Amino acid sequence: MNLKTTYLGMTLRTPLVPSASPLSESLDNIKRMEDAGAAAVVMHSLFEEHISFERHQFLHHLTQGTESYAEALSYFPEMNELAVGPESYLDEIVAAKAAVSIPIIGSLNGSTVGGWTDYARRIQEAGADALELNIYWIPTDLELRGEEVERRYLEIVAHVKRIVSIPVAVKLSPFFSNVANMAKRLVEEGAKGLVLFNRFYQPDIDLELLDVNPNLLLSSPMAMRLPLRWIALLYGRLKVDLAATSGIHSGRDVVKMLMAGADVTMLCSALIRRGIPYLTLVEHELAEWLEEHEYDSVEQLKGSLSQLKCPTPEAFERAQYVRGIATSWRERHPV
């Protein structure tokens, strides 16, 4: 069975790629990911706050913007809790490239236009095969208009593209007034890949302590519905690679994302919950499904049920909304 796919100009053995997470903070884990069948690995993120702290040594950078920490297990950590500094991060990329044969994708996470983006060049110089740009921002300024938010995203991507030659993918939020238009503009700024979507971790309220409690919830398969829909809508309309992330927990989930039009599928919660070797089982399930349904390759499957190619393209738009509600109700409450 030919499971090969292409992503960001790289030919990958399969579409299975562990996404940015604390799992890749360990070189041993990266080796285990390769052994388990990972086609590439996205490194854990280097955060804008890490770089700002190292440059300015100023406490303000540790206490502001806690909601911007995409992979936090709590609110932004105290000074001694920072997992890795910028120089250590670059060393980790060098070590990973020397230890494994699969592509290593760097990850930069930030929300402003500034000096932190210069680390994109240094990540390239460390040997990363590509860069994932995770623009994680929750605007709360009542006076900030939507077009200004979009402009900041575009400026960050444009700046990074000016200073690196490796392919850049943008991990973006679903919270734009027009995701399709934003995707188009990011591609025009030079993005070679779009990663759909970033998950914003939400706080909870502790009723016993009467306090706000940071709460990291691992994804469930239901979370894949949103990226599946938008990948299916964007497939074939933009000259860009599409990576699916969030809610991918099985080989069947991978099949669905590929049918929608994804080039790669990124796993995180499933590996945290079940362990890195679980990746092998997902690959086996993918190959088994393809064989049972008489597909010869992943490429044959890719985009086959995108909006451009599926028999019911209206299923991805509003026309199916009312129909879906009515059908679901009748199935649960038969006359």
CB 250 within 8 A of CB 278: no
Task: Give the span between the Cα atoms of 145 and 177, in whole angstroms.
Answer: 11
Say how many C-beta atoms besides its own lie within 10 A of residue 4's C-beta.
14
CB 34 within 8 A of CB 14: no
DSSP 194-231: EEE-PPPP--EEETTTTEEE-------GGGGHHHHHHH
Per mean pLDDT, which range of 15-29, 64-78, 126-140, 270-284 is the poorest? 64-78
**Residue pLDDT, tens place only, 277-288:** 999 999 999 999
User: What per-residue confidence (pLDDT) applies to 72?
Assistant: 42
Give yes or no for residue 219 having a pLDDT over 90: no
**Residue pLDDT, tens place only, 12-39:** 999 999 999 999 999 999 999 999 999 9
Residues of the chain with CATH 3.20.20.70: 5-304
Give the up-direction half-sphere exposure of residue 315: CA atoms within 13 A in the CB hemisphere: 15
Helix (H) or strand (E) holding 243: strand 241-245
Give yes or no for residue 166 having a pLDDT over 80: yes
DSSP 27-89: HHHHHHHHHHT-S-EEPPPEEHHHHHHHHH--THHHHS-GGG-TT-SSSSPPGGG----HHHH
> How, if at all, do strands 41-42 and 168-172 pair?
unpaired
What pTM was estimated for this model as a whole?
Answer: 0.86
Interior/surface letters 249-282, b for 16+ CB within 10 angstroms, e for the rest: bbbebbbbbbbbbbbbbbbbbbbbeeebebbeeb
CATH number of the domain at 5-304, out of 3.20.20.70, 3.90.180.10, 3.40.250.10, 3.40.50.620? 3.20.20.70
Say how many C-beta atoms besides its own lie within 10 A of residue 208's C-beta.
6
